[in-house]
């Protein structure tokens, strides 16, 4: 299901606390809930990263660390002109 909204509720897009611009997109398909990490590149591009199926209330720390690592690699590649 796709919805058009002027402002995205935190139910769908939430900032991950204690991170520098890391967000979590929530997608539900039937009874399954998936999370996709993302960040904004200069407010113009949404960069999607790793995803996982969430089974507990709390987001696994290893998934957050993985997303932070991917974001840093993206920023380094962009600085070096590879993106």
pLDDT one-digit tens code per residue, 11-38? 889 999 999 999 999 998 898 889 999 9
User: Residue 47 carries which DSSP code?
Assistant: E
Q: Cα angle vertex 44, ends 19, 54, to 5°?
A: 45
The SS3 of residue 39 is strand
Contact 83, 74 (CB under 8 A): yes
Q: What is the pLDDT of residue 2?
A: 65
pLDDT one-digit tens code per residue, 36-64? 999 999 887 889 999 999 888 888 899 99
Can you read off the two tokens belonging to residue 19?
């991170």
């Amino acid at each position: 299901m796709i919805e058009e909204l002027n402002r995205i509720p935190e139910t769908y897009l939430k900032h991950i606390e204690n991170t520098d611009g890391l967000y979590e997109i929530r997608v539900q398909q039937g009874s399954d809930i998936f999370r996709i990490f993302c960040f904004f590149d200069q407010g113009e591009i949404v960069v999607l990263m790793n995803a996982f199926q969430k089974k507990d209330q709390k987001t696994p720390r290893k998934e957050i660390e993985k997303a932070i690592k991917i974001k840093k690699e993206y920023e380094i590649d962009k600085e070096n002109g590879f993106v």
